[in-house]
Chain A
């Protein structure tokens, strides 16, 4: 696609896009919980939710009603402001990150003639922005855990600090190699780079795997769900949360899962290029869906690791591998020129 042919991006378009993302992603996040329950159930040969609405589809609404109507409890000794703000940080950063991610193909709303871009804000340092935003999201759990005056919360936030910080390094380093290859930080460029049909994962398998592992850790998914691992720390940083505040954390988590899925698809898995006869938008949805499914699948199959194992893996295995990968990539690029 040639950039010059694109209509002008108006403020209205961006706002519409933002609202659209917000609506759709939070819907998807909610729907994600349904999907998660269903998939996990199937993998354990159970039915999962099935009584509210057809196939249990309206479970989502039931849960929503429940979350909205539940009493909002703030513990007596909590730092109330921070306690209240923390979930918002998580949710907000997750959505802000999505601003720089191409979520749907672009389109023009008929009659009023407003152009809605694929990316709400196609800043040319998209990847950096997304990663930065996601990293900023760690303040959510961190502050939440510390604000709630609960020992499990404290442990949860301590874990947040080490886990998110450590894996930030791996994420960054692992994605550095593709960036070096593409030579841009813009998602559009990544997409275009793979327009020939050869996905970056072919060149950068190690980086892909590292990114994936780090992605699990950053989204706090099994096997790295240490922040709130029920069997160990009650509910970690969300111990004292209930109702909608608790819900916000989860919307954030699921939004992040989608973000990771989007990054993985765009950076490594060929982006929204058409494939054979399959149109690009379908491709990207398929890819995101698969990566989402993969996260659930992993949750169904694998046990979680201990915090020390997590650190060990990060600093002794993944980080060196990532560095080596960057170095090798650099050398190869250098030699190829």
Chain B
């Protein structure tokens, strides 16, 4: 779904006698919404497939009753939103929804933003004609975050749909309710669609699809977000606040590079404690999907900060003698610019490992491709119908990359190729047309060469590549050649747009330069376009803004990282800094978008700008840096306060602005020869966080339970025992073994979200290391 609407792909339709333009092939409902026409609809979710559970979206199109969420617009289509028949249907449906629905709006968490309430009022349902015996339905907790009250559930299936079509877990499904069956007499008495809807509704409730009481899912909470009623609520939030008491602060999630749109919803913590507290995080779920860290990991603010003048004076001293600033990517563009300014004025060195790796990779790529930025954003990936992933642990690295991969399978009848050394049981379940290559560590170049072989126009390839394409990559990458060829033929059917996502494995790769070149070659010679997953929150922004150094020595200031003097938003440093939910500023996300974020909570201490003002020079407010972000790198000179932050009804994102990709002359590409002996052998550890954990901040949040330990597949864990000592070339770690049900193979994962553990040092510039693991 590209944001550009060309005149060619538009059709004219008439809704209630007024003519509108709509995108060809769009559902009537979406076309109406894009034109700000209201059609009642409950079960449909933008970006997911229609489920036809509610049937309330009935409209008349060219004389026939159709479900507007499922019927596509045609040139000249005449649509009537309400006819007497349809109104009767809708009213009957709402009455049916209200049958046995508990009269508990007074306590319900959804009250005030409940779609059942809204439609009941909208359709003026003031009496009930239907009745059926109720079934006892008990509230349960599905997981550490999910609370399901089937009594309130209207079985719209939005939760199951989003979980399947967007998240990919398909962790919940409709199941038998076991209630009384409908009296057949109703069939003749009531409107047809309402009866059909009721018949289905009466038979079902939602339950975890693994047959147990618990979902064992990604705990993303997206099902909670989409639930139109109070049936699905997060356990932490149940009965703690009413929707209308909460103040919504539009922000950008600061946990990963997706930079999702979120609202921090705040109100005073309690009667005694009147300081604002975040009660939950919500999102525009029709247009953006969060992961568990974004939704539940919100209380990482630096609560105790004060303006400690002595600490501040010490900080100024420290900055004056500093040689190095060591920081990470959980930082706004403005702060990155401040640090860059410091480098320019005081000559300090800037160290940011993940951003530096990405910066180098991006540099190699743009040298080879002539573009300063990668080609696709992840919305374009989501709109493609063939998606390839290389060098990223899809399930853990970046939720939006994963959602895109999944959504392509579900919505675009797409196909996917997944290359990764660590086996995964979830990815193959995303769709039928997915081929997974669990290749050896070090064979990433082979993966890219293989892709080139599959998709590239051989004539456009440089010789250095062409000569390497002879080998049997399928075999090399751990697949079965014959089987793959058959599958690939099927996968390629009716495919038009191809996308490649690459991840952190490649940036931290020994042969990063070669890999970047191969990607450029692929793009130049095929339909496949690339999107890159920046390793951490604002790695892309930092990579563009800062002139990072590889190595540095001397007195070091650590900003949320280790150093001789430590600035910390976690409250454990020498000077307090505001956490991301206490700051305003912009972040650059993987969609190449610069998005604004706002302060949800009060912060009483010093900010980086105060320090910069003392040691160099700075404007009054942090956000005054926004307009000075480097235009030469694709930023725009706009003021912070003029940045928009919303979506419109047609799904167009108006959040900040898109980075501009700057083109230049591409260099002649010549790639190195792939050497398959480079593969790592032996016991291998992979630097990879569990789902919902990204950094110290997600770790600090009270609803994120994933611990710091050694993650291993069930089979591997069996052999390891419960606690192990992991020995690296340059250090040791003692870790608890945590089983990740969805991992496969022998490679173990060691998280890097705790900066204090210095995991980057242990892995020494790579994501994979051979280690020795001993049980202790």
Direct interface between A and B, CB < 8 A: no
